[in-house]
Amino acid sequence: MIGITSCGYHVPFCRLERAHFGQAWNRRVGKGERAAIYFDEDALTLGFEAAQRCLEYVGNKKVDALFFASTSAPFWQRSTASFLAAACDLSAACETSDFGGSLRSATAALRAGVDALNSRRLSTLLVATGEVRDGQPGETEEEWFGDAGSAVTLGRENVLAEIMGLATYSSDFWDEWRRDGDAFIQTQASRFSTERGYQKSLIAVGKSLLEKHGVQAQQVAKVILPSPNGRAHGATAKKLGFQEAQILDPCFAEIGAPGSAAPFLLLAAALEVTNPGDLLLLLNYGDGADGVLLRVTEEIRKRPLSSSLSDHLSEKRLYSSYQIFQKMRSYYKHHQEAAELSNVLLEKEESQNVRLHGTLCLRCGTRQYPLTQVCGGCKNRDSLHEVPLEHTGRIFTFTRDHLYVAPDSPTIMSVVDVDQGGRLYLQMTDVDPEDVRVEDPVVLTLRRRKEGPTMHNYYWKCRPAR
C-alpha cells in the first residue's frame, strides 16, 4: 500500500482583511481575509514549517527524498529542496527535486513520488510546498490570492490514506501566468477562464478518475478542490455530481487561494474530519488538472491530533493596513541587512546553522551551541559528539529591542533553552511583543535573515508554541 503517511500545513500568522484592499483602491472587495507573509517569510520558509509538522509525526530518519513544489520559490536557480533537506537534517544521500512552473507543481511532485515509491527506488518521500502569491497591486487577484505552505509524506508503512489512483489532464490554457522577470502574476480572469479553464480541466480529470475506478460521486466522502475565488470550486464539484456536504471548504475566506500549497493543505484538512474507509477525491488545477483518489485507513485513528486547521487559523495577527501588508512583502526587496556572506562560511557552518547541530559532551552531559572544540561545561576535548538539537524549548530571558533597525519594531530577542539541552539566542517572530514571558514555550522556525546584495539567507528564529 502506498499512501499519505503524514501531512502538515503552515498558514502565515499574519492576515489582511479584504476590506483594506477596498480602502486602498477604492473598490468593492470580497469578504474575509487573505493570509499574508511577514517580512521574514517566503515560499521556502512556509514549506519548511509545513515539513516540520510532518517530521514531528514521522521523524526524519526514514525520509529518503524531499521534493519541493512552488511557483514562487525564492531562487530561480538554486534548489529549495536541497536546502530544505539540510534544514530537515536529511542525509546527503537523499533524493531532492524541485517542481515549479505550474499550479499543478504539488500534484506533479506527488505523481512523480508515487512512481518512485512504486518502483521501490524510494521508501519515504517528503513533498513540501510553499507559495507567496502576488497579484497586480489594485487588481482583484491581490485580494484573492493567499500565502501558505503545506507538506505530505508518502510511504508504505503506517499509511493514513491509501492512494487508489491518479489521473492527469494537460491543457495549454492561458489562465494565470508569470513571465520570467514578472513581479506579479498575470491573468485574464473572467467567466470564460473559469468555465473553459478551471471547470473544463477539473471535470475532465475528475470524471476520468472516478470512471477508471468505478466510483460514483455519492460514494466519495469529500471532494477537495482549491478555489480561485471562493465560488468556482462549488459549481465545478456540483457538475461532477457532488452534493454541498461532500465539498470541502477551501478556506478561501480565511486564507485566499494559496496556489501550489492548496492541495496538500486541503487534503490535511479533509483528513482531520474523515473516518477509516472514506474515499477522498483530490483535484488540482493549473495548465490542465491532476486528480488523486484516496481511501482513508484505520491508521487515521491512531494519529494524535492536537490541533485542527481551524485552531491553526484562529492564531493570527491582522495587519492594520494595506501599507503594512505591502511593506512586509517588499521589505527585503529594498533592504539589505548584510554584506555578502562567504560561501566558505556558509559551507563550514552548515551543520550548525542549517541542520541545527550542537555539541554533546558525553562526560558532563552539556549540550552546547554552536559546535565547539572544548566543552564549555567541563573543558574536556575528547568526549564531544555532534548531535541534532531539539526544535522546541523555553524562553530563559528576552528583551523587546526598539533600537535594532527592523521593519517591525520592537524586535524580540530571546535566549532559549531548547528541550534536552542547548541554549540559543534568537529573534522571535509571529508574536505580539507585549505577550512574551520568561519560561514561555517556543518552537524553532527557519526564517529569512541577513538579506544580502545577491543572496537570500536563512537562519533560525523562534515563535510561540501553538
Which residue matches cell numbers 459549481? 235
Q: State the nearest-atom distance from the C-beta of 453 to another protein, in Å.
A: 13
Helix H, strand E, coil C: the string for 281-319 is EEEEECCEEEEEEEEECHHHHCCCCCCCHHHHHHCCEEC
Candidates 216, 362, 377, 381: give the one binding another protein (CB under 8 A).
377
Residue 460's beta-bridge partner residues? 446
Candidates 282, 424, 442, 446: give the one binding another protein (CB under 8 A).
424
Q: State the nearest-atom distance from the C-beta of 392 to another protein, in Å.
A: 15
Name the residue nearer to another protein (CB basis): 172 or 435.
435
- The rounded distance, in Å, linking the Cα atoms of 5 and 96 is 19
Name the residue nearer to another protein (CB basis): 149 or 421.
421
Contact between 415 and another protein by CB under 8 A: the answer reads: yes
Q: Are 280 and 222 in contact (CB under 8 A)?
A: yes
Q: Are 100 and 58 in contact (CB under 8 A)?
A: no
**Cα angle for residues 87, 155, 281 (degrees, 5° grid):** 105
- The rounded distance, in Å, linking the Cα atoms of 14 and 26 is 23
Contact between 417 and another protein by CB under 8 A: the answer reads: yes
**Sheet of strand 95-99: strand arrangement:** 95-99, 65-69, 124-131, 148-155, 3-10, 161-170, 288-296, 279-285, 220-224
Name the residue nearer to another protein (CB basis): 122 or 443.
443
CA neighbours within 13 Å on the CB side: how many for 159? 20
Q: Are 144 and 176 in contact (CB under 8 A)?
A: no
Candidates 205, 267, 369, 391: give the one binding another protein (CB under 8 A).
369
Contact between 97 and another protein by CB under 8 A: the answer reads: no
Binding to another protein in span 429-458, by CB under 8 A: 438, 449-450, 457
Name the residue nearer to another protein (CB basis): 74 or 256.
74
DSSP 8-state class, residue 247: B
Name the residue nearer to another protein (CB basis): 60 or 366.
366
Contact between 370 and another protein by CB under 8 A: the answer reads: yes
Q: State the nearest-atom distance from the C-beta of 277 to another protein, in Å.
A: 49
Contact between 351 and another protein by CB under 8 A: the answer reads: no
Candidates 272, 423, 441, 456: give the one binding another protein (CB under 8 A).
423
Query: Which residue ranges make up the site for another protein (CB under 8 A)?
Result: 337-338, 341, 345, 353, 366-370, 376-377, 396-406, 410-411, 413, 415, 417, 421-425, 427, 438, 449-450, 457, 459
